[in-house]
């Protein structure tokens, strides 16, 4: 029985897959970062109930969390492809549309999705800060900025870490979906390899294993951060 394992080694597919994995991690990390920024801003808006903005944020989170990720990717990709190609050609960068563009649209799409979930995590974390802490800070006459930096942010960070871990796990898995719009990440590399060698089983199995390694490694990373931020009893 031959499943093409030899071909994977000989034809340099391993390199393509590893390159794809790097792009997957890059898309995941940048999207997660963008999502975290969106999450903190929208989470604060939702928590503080700043009137007209909460409605916008509510609409954003319930829409993105209720509609399939793939549909959101199609929307962003198809609606922007014409526009971006036009702009790029106008500035004489027709080739740019193919290379950098897929990455940007992937980050925008995945970041939008991850931002909606982060918002809920941040809101939940903010809600679990005891009201007494805020009242005490206000009673001491601390300015709003100091209250945020010294009281709200540290507690929010600690409580939000496990939730952010979950968001990261789904975000890294969601990056597989941008392969359908042509970004050369891990899933796309496996798909191309499977198509040209006619050995789909081994290629998708390798892709699955690489994803598993990424999620397991990041899980241990998050566990370590969580332990680091845990409150230690004073000696």
Partner 1 sequence: MDLELIQHAVPVLLKGLWMTALLTGLSVLLGFNLGLGLALIRLSESRFVAGFAKYYSLAFRGTPLLVQLFLFYYGLGQLPFVRNNAAIWWVISDGTRCAVMAIALNTAAYTSEILRGGLMSIPAGLREAAKAGGMSPFLRFRRIEFPLAIRQALPAYGNELVLVVKGTSLASTITVLEITGYTKRLMSQTYAIFEVFAIAGALYLVINLILIGLVRMTERHLMRHEGR
* Cα angle for residues 205, 208, 214 (degrees, 5° grid): 145
* 65 near partner 1 (CB under 8 A): yes
Q: CB of residue 165 vs partner 1: minimum separation in angstroms?
A: 13
Q: Which of these ranges, 15-23, 33-41, 64-72, 151-159, lies near partner 1 under the rule CB under 8 A?
A: 64-72
* 68 near partner 1 (CB under 8 A): yes
Burial of 95 (0-12, 13-18, 19+ CB in 10 A): exposed
Q: Which of 55, 59, 75, 153 binds partner 1 (CB under 8 A)?
A: 75
Helices 13-48 and 96-127: crossing angle in degrees, nearest 10, is: 40
Query: Going by C-beta distance under 8 Å and a sequence separation of 6 or more, which residues neighbour residue 220?
Result: none
As a whole number of angstroms, the distance between CA 211 and CA 192 comes to 17
Q: Which of 212, 221, 223, 229 binds partner 1 (CB under 8 A)?
A: 212
Q: CB of residue 179 vs partner 1: minimum separation in angstroms?
A: 7
Burial of 82 (0-12, 13-18, 19+ CB in 10 A): exposed
* 217 near partner 1 (CB under 8 A): no
* 200 near partner 1 (CB under 8 A): yes
Q: CB of residue 48 vs partner 1: minimum separation in angstroms?
A: 25
* Cα angle for residues 116, 109, 65 (degrees, 5° grid): 30
Q: Which of these ranges, 13-21, 66-74, 134-142, 154-162, lies near partner 1 under the rule CB under 8 A?
A: 66-74
The CA-based diameter of the chain, rounded to the nearest angstrom, is 75
Point out which residues bind partner 1 (CB under 8 A). 1, 3, 62-63, 65-71, 74-75, 78-79, 169, 173-177, 179-180, 187, 190-191, 194, 199-205, 207-208, 211-212, 215-216
């Amino acid at each position: 029985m031959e499943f093409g394992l030899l071909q994977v080694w000989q034809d340099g597919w391993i390199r393509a897959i590893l390159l794809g994995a790097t792009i997957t991690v890059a898309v995941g990390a940048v999207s997660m970062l963008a999502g975290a920024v969106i999450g903190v801003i929208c989470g604060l808006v939702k928590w503080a109930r700043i009137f007209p903005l909460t409605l916008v944020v509510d609409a954003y989170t319930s829409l993105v969390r209720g509609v399939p990720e793939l549909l959101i990717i199609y929307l962003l990709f198809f609606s922007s492809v014409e526009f971006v190609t036009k702009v790029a050609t106008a500035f004489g960068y027709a080739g740019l549309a193919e290379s950098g563009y897929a990455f940007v649209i992937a980050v925008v799409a995945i970041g939008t999705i991850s931002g909606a979930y982060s918002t809920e995590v941040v809101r939940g974390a903010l809600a679990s800060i005891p009201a007494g802490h805020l009242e005490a800070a206000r009673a001491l006459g601390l300015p709003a900025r100091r209250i945020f930096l010294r009281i709200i942010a540290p507690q929010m960070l600690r409580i939000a870490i496990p939730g952010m871990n979950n968001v990261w796990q789904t975000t890294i898995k969601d990056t597989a979906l941008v392969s359908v719009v042509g970004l050369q990440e891990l899933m796309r590399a496996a798909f191309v390899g499977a198509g040209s060698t006619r050995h789909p089983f081994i290629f998708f199995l390798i892709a699955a294993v690489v994803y598993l390694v990424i999620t397991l490694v990041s899980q241990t990373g998050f566990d370590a951060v969580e332990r680091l931020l845990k409150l230690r009893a004073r000696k």
